Amino acid sequence: MIKVPWNPTAEEIRAWAFSDESWPDQDWDLAVNDGKNDSLLIELACDSKCPNQVFFLHSIYFMVGDAIHRDAPNERIIELKEMIAAINGEVPAEVQQWRIEAIKLLSNPSAFEYHYWCGHMFLNSKSEQIAAADRD
């Protein structure tokens, strides 16, 4: 399905999103977060019909967290802020929560918590997610 897992096209990401295939690579969340697919990741995180919606929710947390963790150039931070601010309309509660948290984090990078932002999908429970968010 995906020719080069570390350089997926938007079409390949979308096809995978609506498949029952396992991750094409153990670091698939890293591979899709290349800066070229930001809008697509948000779109798929918002799509309640997407079988891999949870993965894409994790991916948008990772998108912001990785930018802070890697001390991304100011241009990338501005790009993320503008993209997040442009999200309008009705979005799922989880994406709205991400939006609020992302705006706060991008304005206050010292609040970064690695496991919450870069391992969001792997937090075991809602209470663990809330505890991690409270630390931010």
Cβ neighbours around 127 below 10 Å, total: 9
Torsion, Cα 56 88 72 123, to 10 degrees, reads -40
Q: Where are the domains of the chain?
A: 34-135
Q: Say yes or no to pLDDT of 65 above 80.
A: yes
pLDDT digit string (tens) for 25-56?
888 899 999 899 999 999 999 999 999 999 99
Regarding predicted confidence, which is higher, 124 or 33?
33
94: tokens are 């989880």
The pLDDT value recorded for residue 87 is 92
pLDDT digit string (tens) for 75-121?
999 999 999 999 988 899 999 999 999 999 999 999 999 999 998 87
The pLDDT value recorded for residue 127 is 44
CA distance 40 to 44: 6
